[in-house]
Structures are given as structure tokens and as C-alpha cells.
Structure 1
Amino acid sequence: MSLYQHAREGNVDRLRDALGSDSTAVRKRAVELLGELADGDDQATIDGLLRAATSDEDAAVRGAAVDALDEIGQEALEQLLSELTGGSGSEAEWVTARKFARALEADRAELRIAAANALARLDEPSALPAIVGALSDPDPRVRLRACHACGTFADPRAIPGLIERLDDEPRVRRAAANALGAVGTDRALDPLIDLLEDPDESLRRIAAGALGNASNPKPVEPLARALGDESAIVRNAAVYSVIELLSNVPTEHSHTVRDRVVSELKAADDETVVEPLVEILTEGKQSRQRRNAAWILGRVADPGSEPAVEALAAALDDDDSQTSQFAATSLTNLGGPIVEDRLLDRLGTEHPDDVRAKAVFVLGQVGGQETLNRLEDLTDDESSAVRKRVFSAVSKLRAGGV
């Protein structure tokens, strides 16, 4: 039976037996699965992982065992550190952090790995200088964990060291990019712009996802270029970040950014842009993002795009008044038969009066003869808001020659 099957059945005993295998790959996989399955009360498994972390002949197995102890919990990881450093486990956090920081200078790489993981969990500010120093550790496994820890601290003081790690081996580069994204200042995000053209898809995705946190318009054009990336996950991350940029940039930059966003998005492939915008509008949890998605859709979508029109029509009933207003404006901008059909469907009394009134308003801008006929039947509608919009819309349609 395979290790995977043992893991599926929760057979921890058989996985522990595999720690004594002659195969390095088997021992490493057993360690990883034990980290996923065991909990802090399973001392037999913790003991097995402690032995693997301290005495296995293979460095990759030792490092994986440290990570497995970390995954089980802080107490399991501290058992390893206490065993290697003599800690009592009862000190104040800053005392423990100081001891773990000293462990970052230990000769054994596994101890340094464990210390970096533990300090990330403690999140004790006094340990940051030691973590930053570990970014230049000679062992890439330690540098990787130090990058993760810096991402947890999200402290700007780590920026220079993290930027240096962008030239490291692939896993470390990705961890450094993620950490810079977590710091999130413009100084931290600036180096990520160049990563949008990196051969590593994961790095491009990380960069595209993080740059939406910028507070200036500099990333707009690079993100727009990323909309043509060969990877769908990169393209999707770029659209989300463009929307986030609109939500985050200071007011003095807002108009400039909006103009550049619309210009760049209109030049991109329609489907690439519309699909994530529709997803943001229909499933997004933040009002600012939904507002911006509604606003942009009316300026970059094709009038024949049914997903865009459907999403905007549904947004007329959005709880956020600005989102519903932007949706109405965007539907007016798009116009066309599909918009007319979808809005005519929203004239029935099963819809809220404010939605019907917004639909009438837009129809007054984009409708044809069928719209005029339908609106004339609503001149005696029970809703005063609807009647008011109907009179105005009918007058516009007649004046326009419908």
C-alpha cells in the first residue's frame, strides 16, 4: 500500500514506520504527510519527526521534518528548538525570540531553519534584525524560511534584503516576491514590476497580484501589458490588480489612473478583461472593487458581451448605491439590443422599484420602438419613482425619432 493510501486512511503508524526506509524519497514524503496528519497531542509522531530533523542523513529530509514540526504547531517546533538550545518553554516571548534569534547563527542548518520558522510564528518585533540577517544565510533553505518570516512581519526594514533575494534560486525568489508584496509599500512593490516579464510563471503571477497595492499609477502600463500574458492565471491576477489600483490610488492620481486603465484595457483582448471584471462585480466582497468593475465594464466591454451586460443589469440591484449607479451608467454607455432586452426584463413588478426605475432611465437612453411601447404601458405604474422615469424616458425616445 502506498504512503498516499496510508495518509488517506489516517494510518499514522505506517507512515512513522516509513521514516526508517532506505529510500530518501520515501522518508521525505512520509515526513511531509505526517506534518499534515499529526496534531500536537501525537507525541510519538513528534518524536519521530524530531529524530528525522536531527539525525537523518539527507538534508532535504531534515529540512522537511523541521517544516512538518512547524505545521503541527508552535509547541512541536519549540520541542525541537528546546532540545537543541536548552530552552525551558516557559519564558516570555521576547526571551524565547532572543534565544531563537541566536539559533539563527548555529552551525547546523536545520536549527537555523527551525529558528526562522519559530520566529515567524512568534512575530516578536525585536527578532526582525536577526531574521533580516538570515536572508543572506549560506543555506538556501534558511533563506527561504527567512523570506517567509519577513512576509509575516511585513516590515519595510526587510525590503533591501528581500530585493537581493530576487536574484536567488527559484523558490527563494518566489518567497521574496511574496514577502515584498506583503510589505506592500511602493518601495517594496517597485522591484516587482520587472518580474512581470520573468520566465517564471509563478513569479509573474505573484508580481501581478501584488502590484494592485501600489499607491501610484506606475504599475498600470506594465499590468496592462500583462493582460496579454500567455498564462491565464497571470492575466487574471493583472485584472484584479488594475481594479485594486483604482481603489487604492490617492485622489490626486485617480483621474490619470482611470484614463490609463481604460486606454490599456481597451487595447487588450476583450475576453481576457471582461471575464475577471464580471467575476469581481458578481462575486466581489468589497464595494470599492465592485464599483470600479462596474465602471470599467461600460468602457471596455463589447456591447455584444452577454456576460458583461448580464452582470451590469444584475448590479442595478446592488446594495451599494454607487455600484448600482455605475452599472446604470455603464449600461447606457454600452447600449445595443442585448442591453435593451435585459433591461426590458427588469421592468416587471417582481423587481424592486428602484431597479425598475434605473432600468427605465437607461432604456430612455438606448431603447427603440419596443422600449417605447413597453414604457407607454407604465405611465400609470403604482411606483411614483418609476412613473417619473417613464415620463422622462418616453419624452427622450419620442424626441429622438423613435
Structure 2
Amino acid sequence: MSLYQYAREENAERLRDALGSDSAAVRRRAAEFLGEVGDVDNQPTVDGLLRAATSDDDAEVRGAAVDALDELGQEALERLLEELTGTSGSEAEWVTARKFARALKADRPELRMAAANALGGLDDASGLQHLVEALDDEDSRVRLRACQACGTFADQRSVPALTERLDDEDPRVRRAAANALGNVGTDQALSPLLDLLDDGDESLRRIAAGALGKANNPEPVEPLARALGDESAVVRNAAVYSVIELLSNVPTEQSHAVRDRVVSELKSADDATVVEPLVEILTDGQQSRQRRNAAWILGRVAEPESAIAVEALADALADEDAQTAQFAATSLKSLGGPIVEDRLLDRIGTEHPEDARAKAVFVLGQVGGQETLNRLEGLTDDESSAVRQRVFSAVSKLRAGGP
């Protein structure tokens, strides 16, 4: 049976046995799985990982065991540090933080790794400066965990040192530094990520594209638009999400100019690349501002023949956020065409919410043809006054030959 199957069955005993394998790769994977499925109250598991973290002859196995103890919880990681530093678990957190900070100077890299992990888990910013210094550690495993820990603090003071790590020789460190800068999220922290959109590492491009939507200025618009042509689908998807987030974040006085630039750039991109993520944001997004922006942009960048865009916009007529529903109606009017007419005719029945029906009728009055006129004439005695009012207006326009 494979280690993966043992992990699926949460068979910690078999995974602990694998820590004694002759293969370093097997021992490392066993440690990683124990971090995922182990229990901090299971003494044999903790002891096995402690032995691996302190005495295994392979550096990657020791590192995996340190991280596994961290995964089990602060208590397990502190046990490792207690053994190596003499720390008492009963001490105040600020005392513990000081001892962990001192451990970042220890000779053993595994101890420095554990200290970086532990400091990242403490609610004590006094350890930040020590973590920043650890970003220059000679061991890339320590630099990696120092980057990750800095990311948990998301403190502006770590930005210069994290930026330097974007040129680290270890790609894992570069990714961790990019993630940490994204967590900081200030314009100063995000600016170095712009260049990463052209990096050869797909993961770095994805991290950068996903983080740049947090900016409070329009500078990332054009680089993100270029990323819409990236060879990687995950990078393109992250870029679209960030463009929408960017529209939600930029100051009001800049929003109009940014919207114009966004629409211009998105219209020049491949339709499927842009439309599919926008539809996903509109249908599954949790933030009203993002759904509004997605609804608004779809009416300007989608083709009238785009069934998924029209379907999503038609569904959004019933959105609980009134502005999202209104933007959806406006976008459907802008798109027009047979598909819009067909989807809206499906939504004028009484099984749909009153407001959504009224909006559907309004748009049909702008884009409909003879079939729409025939259907709407049957709604002149609808039980909803809002729907009837829209019907009378729409029928009048259609009989007159248009709006």
C-alpha cells in the first residue's frame, strides 16, 4: 500500500514506520503526510517527527519534519524548540518570542527553520525584525520560512528585504517572497511584482497577477491586460480577477479613467480568456462590488453571441444587490441580439422574482422583435404593477418599431 493510501486512511502508525525507510524521498513524504493527518496528542507521532527533525541525515527530511510539527500545531513545534533551546512552555509569549528570535541565530539550520515558523505563528510583532534579518540566512530553507513568516505579519517594514528575495537563487524562496509581498498589499509592496508578470516561472506570474488587484492606483492595468495573453490559463484567470478587484479598489476620482483603460485592454484580448472568468465572478463572487464590475464589463467586452455571458447576466437580474441587477440589465441592453431576447423571454414568467421580471421586460422593450411583442401583449394584465408598467412601455416601443 502506498504512503498516499496510508494518508487517506489516516494510518499514522504506517506513516511513522516509513520514517525509518532507507529512501530519503519516502521519509520526507511520510513526514509531510504526518503533518497533514497526525495528531498533536499522539505521542508516538510527535516523537517520530522530533527524531526526524533533529537526527535524520537528510536535510530535506529534517525540514519536512520541522514543517510537519508546525502543521500539527504550535504546541508540537514548541516541543521541538523546548528541546533545542530550553524554552519552557509556561513562559509568557513575549519571553517565548525572544527565545525563538535568539534561535534564529543558532548553528543548526533546522532550529532556525523551526524558530522562523514559530515566530510567524506568534501574535508578537517584536519578532519581525529578526525574521527580516533571517531573510539573508545562508540556508535557503530558512529564508523560505522567514519569507512565509513575514507574510503572516503583512508588515510594510519587511518590504525592502522581501523585494531582494525576488532574485533569490531558490525558486521556492522567490515564490514565498512574492506571496508575502502580496499579503502586505501596499502599493510599495506590490510594485516589485509588476516585473514578475513576464517571469519564466508560471507560479511567480500567477502569484503576481493574483496580488496586483489589491493596488490602489491604475499602474497595474496595462501589465495585467498583457497577462491576459499569457500562455498559462491560471495566469490569465488570475489577471482577470485582479482587474475586477482593481476597479473596486482604485479611488473614486480615478475610477472612470481606469474603467476606460480596462475596457479598452480587455476588448483587445481573446474573448474566451476574458469572458469566462468574468462570468465566474458574476455568478460565484462573494463581494457585491466585484459582481457589479463584472456585470458592467461583460456588456462592453462580450460578444452578443456569447451564450455564457448572456445567461449569467440574465440570471443576475435577480441578484440580491440592486446595483448588480441594474448593471446586468444595462449590459444585456448593450449586447442585444437573438440570444439576449431568447434568454429574457425565459425569465418573464411568474416563477421568477418580480424585480427580475420587470427588468427583463424593460430590456426586451429595447432589443425584442415580433415574438417579444406577442409574448408581452399577454402580460398586460399581470398581477405585478411593476411588471405591467414595464410591459405597457415596452409594447408601445415595439409597436412603434423601436425605442
TM-score (norm 2): 0.97
Deviations 1:364-393 (A, max 9, x none): 111112212222222222222112112222
Q: Secondary structure at the match of 2:198?
A: coil
Q: How does 1:23-172 map to 2 (within 5 A)?
A: 23-168=23-168, 169-172=170-173
Supply the distance in 1 between the matched residues of 2:54 and 2:62 (Cα, whole angstroms). Answer: 7
User: CA offset at residue 398 of structure 1?
Assistant: 2.9
Greater Cα offset, 22-31 or 297-306: 22-31
Supply the distance in 1 between the matched residues of 2:337 and 2:167 (Cα, whole angstroms). Answer: 51
Alignment check: 8 A CA contact 2:366 2:402 kept: no
Supply the distance in 1 between the matched residues of 2:3 and 2:382 (Cα, whole angstroms). Answer: 69
Greater Cα offset, 192-201 or 4-13: 4-13
Supply the distance in 1 between the matched residues of 2:79 and 2:284 (Cα, whole angstroms). Answer: 44
Which residue of structure 2 aligns with residue 251 of structure 1?
Answer: 252
Deviations 1:205-239 (A, max 9, x none): 00010001001111011111111111111111011
For structure 2, the residue ranges without an aligned partner over 5 or more in a row are: none
User: CA offset at residue 201 of structure 1?
Assistant: 0.5
Instruction: Call closer, same or farther: CA 1:372–1:57 in 2, change over 3 Å.
Output: same
Greater Cα offset, 86-95 or 26-35: 26-35
User: CA offset at residue 401 of structure 1?
Assistant: 5.7
Instruction: Call closer, same or farther: CA 1:9–1:388 in 2, change over 3 Å.
Output: closer
Instruction: Call closer, same or farther: CA 1:40–1:357 in 2, change over 3 Å.
Output: same
Which residue of structure 2 aligns with residue 397 of structure 1?
Answer: 398
Letter in 2 for 1:191: P
Supply the distance in 1 between the matched residues of 2:12 and 2:350 (Cα, whole angstroms). Answer: 61
Supply the distance in 2 between the matched residues of 1:123 and 1:241 (Cα, whole angstroms). Answer: 30
Which residue of structure 1 aligns with residue 187 of structure 2?
Answer: 186
Supply the distance in 1 between the matched residues of 2:182 and 2:315 (Cα, whole angstroms). Answer: 34
Q: 2:342 aligned with 1:341, yes or no?
A: yes
Alignment check: 8 A CA contact 2:116 2:142 kept: yes
Supply the distance in 1 between the matched residues of 2:129 and 2:69 (Cα, whole angstroms). Answer: 24
For structure 1, the residue ranges without an aligned partner over 5 or more in a row are: none
Instruction: Call closer, same or farther: CA 1:207–1:384 in 2, change over 3 Å.
Output: same
Question: Aligned-residue CA RMSD in angstroms?
Answer: 1.3
Percent sequence identity is 81
Supply the distance in 2 between the matched residues of 1:73 and 1:163 (Cα, whole angstroms). Answer: 29
Supply the distance in 1 between the matched residues of 2:378 and 2:122 (Cα, whole angstroms). Answer: 68
Greater Cα offset, 364-373 or 238-247: 364-373
TM-score (norm 1): 0.97
Greater Cα offset, 23-32 or 233-242: 23-32
Q: Secondary structure at the match of 2:19?
A: helix
Instruction: Call closer, same or farther: CA 1:88–1:269 in 2, change over 3 Å.
Output: same
Supply the distance in 2 between the matched residues of 1:271 and 1:69 (Cα, whole angstroms). Answer: 44
Alignment check: 8 A CA contact 1:35 1:67 kept: yes
Alignment check: 8 A CA contact 1:177 1:207 kept: yes
Instruction: Call closer, same or farther: CA 1:362–1:81 in 2, change over 3 Å.
Output: same
Which residue of structure 1 aligns with residue 281 of structure 2?
Answer: 280
